[in-house]
Each structure stands twice: as C-alpha cells, then as structure tokens.
Amino acid sequence: MKFYIGSDHAGFRTKVALKKLLLGINAETVDLGTFGEDNVDYPDFAMKVAKKVAAEKGSFGLLVCGTGIGMSITANKVKGIRAANPFDTYTARVAREHNDANILCLGGRTYPTPQAKKILKAFLKAKPMSGERHKRRVRKIIEIEGMEC
C-alpha cells in the first residue's frame, strides 16, 4: 500500500502520529509536507497529494488540516480523486466500501489523535464492496468528471 500524505500546520502533529502508524504497518509513505507548525495554506498541500494520487493508480492519500474539510474540498477538485472526511470508524469504512475513496481527510482539531488513528485503521481495513450497485454509482461519479472508466 502506498500513501502520499500531507497536512497544514493545524494537522501537522496528527499527521506525524498517523505517519508512524503507516510506517508501522510497512505502508510506503511519502510525506509531501508541511514539516512544522508555521502557518501555511491547506490547499497547497491538498493539491500536492491529490495530484500524486490521481497520477498513480492504486495509491492513496492522507490529508490532515484542522477539520479535514478544507483538504477534502480542495482534493476533490482533482479528476480521479474521491476524498472523504469521515468522523468515525463507520464513515471511514463505508467511504472505502461504498465510495471507493482514495484520499482520507482528517481533522487535527476536531477529535483527539487516538480517534484519528482508529479512523485511519478502519479506512485501511476496508475494501470497496463488490456489489454492482456501488460500482455503478462510483462509475457515475467518474463520468461526471468526464473521465474514462
């Protein structure tokens, strides 16, 4: 499993903790910044990660800002990206199973790091459901983007 990861200043500490988790399970992890707690703009890091994930089939992204909201709004502007901003293990699981999400966006200010770790673990464990209805719906998202399926 390969993860491109990024954060802004508000998500930096959480990103560091989640990076350890990913490295602990031997996931290939490429950190695209930010690398400290100085003020930065989340769209810059969302775009870095989203472009990499869109260009590399089968790769995933992890983005952390204060809430995960700005990161998901930005990442979803990139064709081929399905960025989800789940808030618990259930929404993390169905983001993979139903929506085939390829970027996980989390909040550094909206829940404690142990909760962020649980959400990441649920995302990692889940696989897209084989049911035709879920595939059909994801195909429709891809068609809306004007991409080839």
Asked if 8 touches ligand RB5 (CB under 6 A), the answer is yes
Let me know if 134 is exposed, middle or buried by CB neighbors in 10 A (0-12, 13-18, 19+): middle
User: Which range binds ligand RB5 by CB under 6 A, 18-26, 66-74, 81-89, 126-134?
Assistant: 66-74
Asked if 86 touches ligand RB5 (CB under 6 A), the answer is no
- Catalytic residue flag (residue 65): yes
Half-sphere exposure for 27 (CA within 13 Å, toward CB): 25
The only residue of 18, 65, 81, 104 in contact with ligand RB5, by rule CB under 6 A: 65
Quick one: tokens of 21? 């988790």
Site residues for ligand RB5, window 31-60 (CB under 6 A)?
42
Q: Cβ 43 to ligand RB5, closest distance in Å? A: 9
- Catalytic residue flag (residue 98): yes
- Chain centroid, CA 101 distance in Å: 8
Helix (H) or strand (E) holding 134: helix 132-144
Asked if 6 touches ligand RB5 (CB under 6 A), the answer is no
C-beta of 28 vs 41, nearer to ligand RB5? 41
Helices (H), 5-101: 12-24, 42-55, 69-75, 89-97
Chain positions contacting ligand RB5, by CB under 6 A: 8, 10, 42, 65-67, 69-70
**Residues acting as catalytic residues:** 65, 98
